[in-house]
Amino acid sequence: MAKPNKKGPVKTIDVLCGRCKTLLFKYRKGGKGALIKCFKERISKDFTQQACVCPECQTLFARDTLVRGAPAYKIIGSKAIVK
């Protein structure tokens, strides 16, 4: 399978915690579908101290995984929302 495009899209979105609405990171997302996975190389600014854990309420919002050979975060249900 093909790897995701390194340059990627230029439009950035804010990814917030679904529980406390804390800003988790800014992500360069392509397309208009729901946020299911976040490739680590497309995260432009990360506000978390621990990977996949909200810094405010300590909720686990994603799982660390490999998607198409690239490291990514797989979002759990509605634990992270897009603004």
The reply to whether 7 falls in a domain is no
Number of domains observed in the structure of the chain: 1
Contact indicator for 30, 8 with CB cutoff of 8 Å: yes
pTM of the model: 0.83
The reply to whether 74 falls in a domain is yes
Contact indicator for 66, 52 with CB cutoff of 8 Å: no
The reply to whether 57 falls in a domain is yes
Cα–Cα dist 57/62, whole Å: 14
The reply to whether 33 falls in a domain is yes
Q: With bands split at pLDDT 50, 70 and 90, how would you rate the model's confidence at 82? A: very high
For residue 78, the one-letter residue type is S
Residue 78 pLDDT > 80, yes or no?
yes
In terms of residue numbers, what domain contains 29? 12-82
* Integer CA distances (angstroms), 48 to 28, 39, 51, in order: 17, 15, 7
* pLDDT given for residue 4 in this prediction: 64
Coil, strand or helix at 60: strand
